[in-house]
Amino acid sequence: MREANCARIQRGACFGTPLAVVQPVLSLAWLRRAVLRDAMSAADQARAFLRATLMAMGLAFLLGAVDVALVMTRLGTPGALLTGIIGALELAALLALGVLGYVTYTTLHDTTLKPLDELSTLARQLESGDLETTGELHGALELKQIGSTLGILANSIVLERRRNTADRSAGARENARLREILDITRHVGSNLEQDLIVAQLATGAQRLGGYSEVVVWRFDELDSDLVPLYPPERLDAGPDKLSRVKAAHTAAGRAASSGQTVQLRAEDGRLEGLAVPLVVGGVGLRILGVLELRGENTSEAMVESPIDALEALASHAATALAAAQLYDQLGQRSETDSLTKLFNRRRLDADLKGEVARSVRYGHPLTLLMIDIDHFKSVNDTFGHQVGDEVLKLVAATLGRGRETDSAYRFGGEEFTVMFRETGTAAARAVAERMRIKIKETVATLGLAQEVTVSVGVAAISDRVRTADKLIQAADTALYTAKAQGRNRVVISNPVARPTRPKANG
């Protein structure tokens, strides 16, 4: 009976040991299958393995404790003491193994598993494009190195991205500046009127350089003087401020004399002004004027270094000004009499048409003088055509020195026309009388043996004279009435009268 009990106790004491071995194996096999099925991360797999191992160790420890308890209840049987000692040793080994497993778990968690989680989080952040939240990893040296390398790569990408963004922003700003500069030069070069070119040059230069004051000067090569062309308030400032400036006394003058840009710098070396010459190239350089910029920068300059841009703009503007001057010269030649320098018949027709229309529409007075040199053919025949040309020039010069609102024209041959704006017949007759006398006195300075006089016909816009052709016809009729009455006189038009031209010469 006792031997049977001993056998059962020994079998019961050994019951926990194989179960403690088989249980972890079964648990790990099940866990491995679950891990592979759920595709867990490496850190999660390691954490799950460790937890399963600890659970299996705990179960084995409990079973071993049951064995020891059973043995302890039968201490009186043979072999029970030995079995109890073996069971106690097994419990001690399992307890030590459990403690070791727990320490291993915490150590691996702090040095490997947690850094792997951080590394995984960092990888997901980088994958999503978040490169700004990289931090320092903790744990094993190898993982720290991996995290540091990823951080360096992320920072490099961030820096490169910022550089690319800055380059794109700088490129966009540079493109905007280039478009602005091209727009300025296009506007400067698209005109043939000097005033518009000068105004656009000044405003464009101010936008490029950011200076508060811009002055455009015209350079008079004959007198070496500078004459202001811009701004408008300088032109309207009065005689004192409009007086010519000697080129040698200013920075603008030095730029005009040398043909080179003059820089004005403060004591600290800061650029506070420029004088850029307006130079036209070709066979020989010609200085048309100077672009002068002064004052504090009231706004951000369009370009960091405005000198090159302003010189290019000044060169472009100088070419446009030269073209405008050439256009004006051609226009003046086509509308100006080459001998007397007065406007010709073509210009008279254009001006008279507009002035008559304005006078008729708004009721403003408009008077026309038709002037003819008496016996001019006799002057040519007696003294020669050169003397005749001198007489024509003196008569034209006298007519051209009239009021600012008057316009003088050479009508043809020895006939001239003067248009009086905002002037009635009475006032026009008084002015015509003074002209007649002045012409006689001026031509007399030639010392000719023959007295040279003029006859003048005066006509004005009225109810019966409402077109340019009728105004010319009325003035011409009054002129030949003066001829018929003895010449050297002024006659007012009578629209009703129809006198015939005299047959006498001149």
DSSP 447-484: --SS---EEEEEEE--SS--SHHHHHHHHHHHHHHHHH
Residue 165 is assigned to a structural domain of this protein = no
* Residues 457 and 357 grouped into a single domain: yes
* Residues 122 and 221 grouped into a single domain: no
> How far, rounded to the nearest angstrom, does the alpha carbon of residue 334 sit from its chain's CA centroid?
39
Which range marks the domain in which residue 29 is found? Answer: 2-128
| Planar angle of CA 503, 505, 506, nearest 5 degrees | 115
Report the candidate in 278, 307, 310 with the shortest Cα–Cα distance to residue 184: 310
CATH of the domain at 298: 3.30.450.40
Helix pair 141-189, 114-128: axis angle to 10 deg: 20
* Residues 487 and 395 grouped into a single domain: yes
User: How far apart, in whole angstroms, are the C-alpha atoms of residue 142 and residue 386?
Assistant: 111
- For residue 359, what are its two tokens? 């006078």
**Residue 33 φ then ψ, to 5°:** -65, -40
* Residues 260 and 390 grouped into a single domain: no
Mean pLDDT of successive 10-residue stretches along the chain, which has 506 residues: 47 48 52 50 62 67 67 60 67 69 69 70 67 60 66 73 78 73 73 82 82 87 82 55 63 86 83 88 76 70 66 86 80 82 92 94 95 95 95 95 90 95 94 96 94 96 94 95 96 68 51
- For residue 395, what are its two tokens? 């008569």
* Residues 48 and 110 grouped into a single domain: yes
**What's the pLDDT score for residue 394?**
96
| 393 Cβ contact partners less than 8 Å away, ≥ 6 residues apart | 339, 340
Helix pair 468-484, 345-362: axis angle to 10 deg: 110
* Residues 351 and 288 grouped into a single domain: no
Q: Are 87 and 64 in contact (CB under 8 A)?
A: yes
Residue 188 is assigned to a structural domain of this protein = no
User: How far apart, in whole angstroms, are the C-alpha atoms of residue 125 and residue 115?
Assistant: 15
**What's the pLDDT score for residue 9?**
44
SS3 state at 249: helix
User: How far apart, in whole angstroms, are the C-alpha atoms of residue 332 and residue 334?
Assistant: 5
Question: What 8-state DSSP symbol labels residue 490?
Answer: E
Residues belonging to the chain: 506
CATH of the domain at 433: 3.30.70.270
**What's the pLDDT score for residue 459?**
97
> How far, rounded to the nearest angstrom, does the alpha carbon of residue 365 sit from its chain's CA centroid?
49
* Residue where a domain stops, chosen among 315, 334, 353: 334
User: How far apart, in whole angstroms, are the C-alpha atoms of residue 318 and residue 278?
Assistant: 5
* Residue where a domain stops, chosen among 334, 351, 385: 334
Q: Are 287 and 301 in contact (CB under 8 A)?
A: no
Q: Assign residue 275 a region: left if phi > 0, alpha if psi is -120 to 50, beta otherwise?
A: beta
Sheet with strand 406-412: strands edge to edge: 406-412, 415-421, 366-373, 454-460, 490-492
User: How far apart, in whole angstroms, are the C-alpha atoms of residue 70 and residue 460?
Assistant: 148
- For residue 283, what are its two tokens? 């066979």
**What's the pLDDT score for residue 463?**
92
* Residues 315 and 446 grouped into a single domain: no
User: How far apart, in whole angstroms, are the C-alpha atoms of residue 107 and residue 103?
Assistant: 6
* Residues 14 and 88 grouped into a single domain: yes
Q: How far apart are the first and last CA of the chain?
A: 179
Using H for helix, E for strand and C for coil, what is the string for 300-329? CCCCCCHHHHHHHHHHHHHHHHHHHHHHHH
User: How far apart, in whole angstroms, are the C-alpha atoms of residue 379 and residue 394?
Assistant: 14
Residue 261 is assigned to a structural domain of this protein = yes
Residue 184 is assigned to a structural domain of this protein = no
**Residue 368 φ then ψ, to 5°:** -125, 135
Number of C-alpha atoms within 13 angstroms, CB side, residue 470?
15
**What's the pLDDT score for residue 314?**
87
* Residues 385 and 465 grouped into a single domain: yes
The residues that bridge with 460 in the sheet, in sequence order, are 367
Please give the tally of structural domains in the chain: 3
Task: Give catalytic residue positions.
Answer: 414
DSSP states along 179-243: HHHHHHHHHHHT---HHHHHHHHHHHHHHHH-EEEEEEEEEETTTTEEEEEE-HHHHTS-HHHHS
Q: Are 101 and 54 in contact (CB under 8 A)?
A: yes
| Planar angle of CA 200, 249, 316, nearest 5 degrees | 25
User: How far apart, in whole angstroms, are the C-alpha atoms of residue 358 and residue 363?
Assistant: 8
SS3 state at 344: coil
Residue 178 is assigned to a structural domain of this protein = no
- For residue 232, what are its two tokens? 């408008």
Strands 415-421 and 406-412 turn out to be antiparallel
Strands 454-460 and 490-492 turn out to be parallel
**What's the pLDDT score for residue 390?**
96
